[in-house]
Amino acid sequence: MKKILILLALLSTIFQKGIAQQEKQLIIKGDVSRVKEHIEQVKIYVGKAWDSCKVVNGKYSFNIKSHKPSAMVIDFCPKIGVFPLTRDKVTEKYRHRLYLEPGVVIITCIDSLFTCKTEGSKYNLAFQDFSRKRKARLDLLNSIKNEIEKAERDNDTTKSKSLRADYRIKYDGIDTEFCCDYALSNSNSPILFYILKEAAGYPFNAERVKPVFKKLPKHIQQSTKGKDFIERIGNSFKVGIGKMAPTFTQADTSGNLVNLSDFRGKYVLLEFWGSWCVFCRLETPNMLQAFKNYKDKGFTILSVAADDSKKKWMDAIHEDKTGVWTHISDLKGSSNGVAKLYNVTGYPTNYLIDPDGKIIAENLRGKALEKKLLEVVR
């Protein structure tokens, strides 16, 4: 009898684990059979990676395990292969943005890729409402966008540059105001913390959202997500240009512990990336060139990987030929301890630290890195 009870308890535990795992799954079933465009493949970006599947008779499906509610992108590809990651109008036509939680979601394109109906997700209903109203507010800037396009057609570089700077300032102001107002008016939204993150911008600007967060109901502030968010706000005040870079220790590819203080006396580009991050890896050639030109002048790179697979991490280092500098990771994915310490909310992110340990620049992209090094390295 005792053995039977033990067996039943064991089976019950296995059954409960099975249910829990099933509840965390996201199953997407899609239909593009009624659109005029020819679609051969669908690619999805969720979490830290792309996944893809072929379209068969106008249907496609994804089964994503251990899924947490999150924003994602679906690309409808006319041909099988790598789909360009650009933001032009042609690409946007084939791109669909969603916010999905675990469950079964049905996506049906009614008559074009622009008219996709999504069923089975309360998170996505909230996301689409937020996105639609956000776009309507930002459409107030369309007149400036038209002026920019005209200036570019006329090859008036000076006017185009001036208009773009004006557009960026007004865009940030209008968008921040809208996101903050929306968060306060929709504090029960399932995507509230996503909205707050959007309000903070990239890189994370705590000064924008701290006053908003304090106005939220107490039960939201004291929730698990609320406590995580206030920790993020606190961390953001510790990191920034002119501040001392927070020190840390993490293991390198061989398991040896590396501390930021080990690099004192050098200019260090602290880079946050992931093997799964396409845009991070597109920056690699610029970093390799900077490293080659300044490694003998007191400059180095310390890369922090938001990976949870050592094999993928190591393979990416090998493929990109970046083993010439130091790489570290705790293999906790986007929950990497150093990334949390530096309040990293998007990838790639980087900070340039001077020989005294002070942050002197952030998010140097393309030629900006070498330009800054030329300015400071003697």
Domains along the sequence of the chain with CATH: 22-120 (2.60.40.10), 142-236 (no CATH), 249-376 (3.40.30.10)
Q: For residue 295, give every residue at least 6 positions away whose Cβ sits within 8 Å of its Cβ, in sequence order, or none.
A: 324
The amino acid at residue 62 is F
Average pLDDT over residues 357-363: 95
- Whole-prediction pTM value? 0.75
Which helix (H) or strand (E) segment is 211 a member of? helix 206-215
Residues in the chain: 378
Q: Does position 21 have pLDDT exceeding 50, yes or no?
A: no
Crossing angle between the packed helical segments 157-185 and 206-215, to the nearest 10 degrees: 20
Q: Which two tokens stand for residue 346?
A: 């998007």
How does pLDDT run across 48-98, given as a tens digit for each residue?
Answer: 667 889 999 999 999 988 678 988 888 888 876 555 444 455 566 788 899
Question: What pLDDT band is residue 227 in, cutting at 50, 70 and 90?
Answer: very high
109 DSSP β-pair partners:
116
pLDDT band at 19 (very low <50, low <70, confident <90, very high): very low
Instruction: Please tell me the predicted confidence (pLDDT) of residue 181.
Output: 96
Distance separating alpha carbons of residues 189 and 183, to the nearest angstrom: 8
Beta strands in the chain (DSSP E): 26-31, 41-46, 49-54, 59-64, 70-77, 95-100, 103-109, 116-119, 249-251, 257-259, 267-273, 299-305, 326-328, 349-353, 359-362
| φ, ψ of residue 151 in degrees (nearest 5) | -60, -40
The alpha-helical segments, DSSP class H, found in 73-186 are 89-93, 122-138, 142-153, 157-185
Tell me which amino acid residue 102 is: P
Contacts of 118 (CB under 8 A, 6+ apart): 98, 105, 106, 107, 124, 128
> How do residues 119-170 score in pLDDT, each as one tens digit?
999 999 999 999 999 999 999 889 988 999 998 899 988 998 899 999 989 9
CB–CB of 130/191 below 8 Å? Answer: yes
Q: Say if strands 267-273 and 299-305 run parallel, antiparallel, or are unpaired.
A: parallel
- 15, pLDDT greater than 50: no
Rounded to an integer, what distance in angstroms lies between the CA atom of residue 56 and that of residue 51?
A: 16
* Of 122, 124, 120, nearest in space to 73 by CA: 124
Q: φ and ψ at 61, to 5 degrees? A: -155, 150
For residue 326, report the phi and psi dihedrals to the nearest 5 degrees: -85, 135
Nearest to 74 by CA among 103, 109, 104: 109
204 in Cβ contact with 236 (< 8 Å):
yes
pLDDT tens per residue across span 239-254: 889 999 999 999 999 9
Q: What is the per-residue pLDDT for 100?
A: 93
User: Which tens digits make up the pLDDT trace of 164-215?
Assistant: 999 989 999 999 999 999 999 999 999 999 999 999 987 788 899 999 999 9
Residue type, 148: I
Among the listed residues 188, 179, 144, 174, the one whose alpha carbon sits nearest the alpha carbon of residue 162: 144
Contacts of 286 (CB under 8 A, 6+ apart): 365, 366, 367, 369, 370
pLDDT for res 258: 97
Residue 304 φ then ψ, to 5°: -110, 120
